[in-house]
Structure 1
Amino acid sequence: MEYRTADDVLRAHWDGRLPVSPKNIAEAMGIEVEALTPDEPEKWRATESGHYSFRGGNPLITYNFMDAPVRQRFTIAHEIGHHVYGDLDAPRDTSEQFSAKSRDPREVAANRFAAALLMPAALVKHMVIEQRITDIAKLASAFGVSTAAMEFRLKAIGLL
């Protein structure tokens, strides 16, 4: 199946429950997802949050097991973005690349994709406008993201 946007991926693989599970979605897309731990010194890089690559010809997302759960979720969603956009030569992702200061267009696009995947615009708008949930921490908790990611998303969809 071909995907162009996070909405395409959500329509094809999301069960409608919050928080969105990027790991389940990646696996449904045929992408292996593997947590990297310090127990595997040949693979471990403490400064690496995630990476999209291929192993044995199959797509693989790796993420840092030591990162906070919200970071792990965002990393997996970000790497799904690299998969969808065909970014085979994207660099290994460090915390700097997840920052709003990142200028690499591939990283900016993957960050936007991750935000859209984890925080679907229609649902965020529904919760803010219809359910009147305006506390950023409560919204972040509901979507399983950091408050910084939620604030970024709220701005991106015109609610802040």
Structure 2
Amino acid sequence: MSVLISTRRLLAQWVTPENFRSYGQVIFASVDGKSFDAEDAQLSLQNGIPKFYIMRLYENDRKFGKITRHVECTQCLGSLDGKSWLMAVAPPGNSDKPSLEDIVAFRIPGSCFIKLEVGTWHAGPYVEADFVDFYNLELRDTNVVDHFSFDFVKHYNLEFEIV
């Protein structure tokens, strides 16, 4: 017997520092030599060895049934070549699952990057181009020892689609 999976659509809004504050930071270019301040990425990478790398993601259908968080570090993501991209997020918290009502989607321009706060739930990046290269800053073993996911399909017969 097959189980019917419902799809909830999330309308992606353009990211701004104000509307992303509950999830992390939006970082834009600044003048070289500017002193460090609150507009710079406030990183938490002290629980391991940082890993900075470029990952290539290919066009996808913008649907997800799982969401992930990292509780040991912040994570920074940004696209190369000025390409915009999509990301779904929910605020960090003490629960082992995000609230369905708290999940939102953002369209992120290629002129900035985002820093996910420690514990921020996230699905993506999702791309609309054939491929997009991303830089990613996290800990070297984040995806091995600090990768906690919640499965909406398993628990709620639910998936999300970013539109």
Q: What is the TM-score normalised by the length of structure 1?
A: 0.26
Q: Decide which structure has greater strand share.
A: 2
Q: What is the TM-score normalised by the length of structure 2?
A: 0.25
Compare relative contact order (CA 8 Å, sep 6+) and give the higher one, 1 or 2.
Answer: 2
